Structure 1
């Protein structure tokens, strides 16, 4: 009787170990990507199954600064990557870097081309070198200065007085909220260096 239990236990253990090894060789989690020759660590959201790469739409949206729209009815994800340029200016002076402890009033000109998704809101934020965000301005559909239904638009965001009191990179981020979405999606960044 003990001999049969030993054989059965050995068989079960062998099947479990073989299945785990097989599953690991078929399914592999990806932890590192290279985007434009820059290494990007990805905690979750990408996997290889049968030599095919599957990527989470959240990872695509975040890392590529694209708009991802999920159609529940058709079970289809559509990815839009608009062309966005941001120019920062203090009066007539355009700048991209500042001196440490500079405090001045500036505005941001945003040019958006090829926006194929309908949006219900937009916003511009600035993040200091420690990651603390400040909202510069937000606009929503129905506002007089909101670019409703336009694929290409140019807007000047309101002036902000800001103190660049730390050395490092300050990041301007331009966000949009697709119609029907509950959250904003990042579509462009611009770095201002403080030295």
Structure 2
């Protein structure tokens, strides 16, 4: 899978983009653990990730690099330029053929790629409600029929109108993927690992019909 030249795309929410970009300029943020999340490693080990992969919100690229080393054709996107710069540097020094692009995940229809699998390590749960719906709509433009979207997100207690930190409840996940183009295959309890802790999380598996 080839990627287009980096277009310097301006995110629709530049304040949020700046916040994430600034987080990657100093010490690694607590969600950047220096390796892929174990939940995604298990998916790879059990053969559930297709050959052509798009990782949305890839950060500094550890998951994309891991998958590229295991033979997948991978493109990682993030709207934080400093994160993508680090990911590209890692790929170069490790000699791993992963591709990275500064891109807004709300503009997937403009990306111009088709993949078997989309991976999301805690990106969707950072978006607002309208942005989440728009992202899900855009998924169909890059994911082939029969392909899979796997989401790792922090757990929001059911019925909570507000919960500290970014998170999703099971019912919110079910509503997001209630459309006829999606089949919600699984919502499994797991953990999201951070540098000094871990949170209860869902690993969500969705198939594009």
> How would you bin the TM-score normalised by the shorter chain?
under 0.3
TM-score, L = length of structure 2: 0.22
Structure with bigger strand share is 1
Q: Which has the larger radius of gyration?
A: 1
Structure with bigger helix share is 2
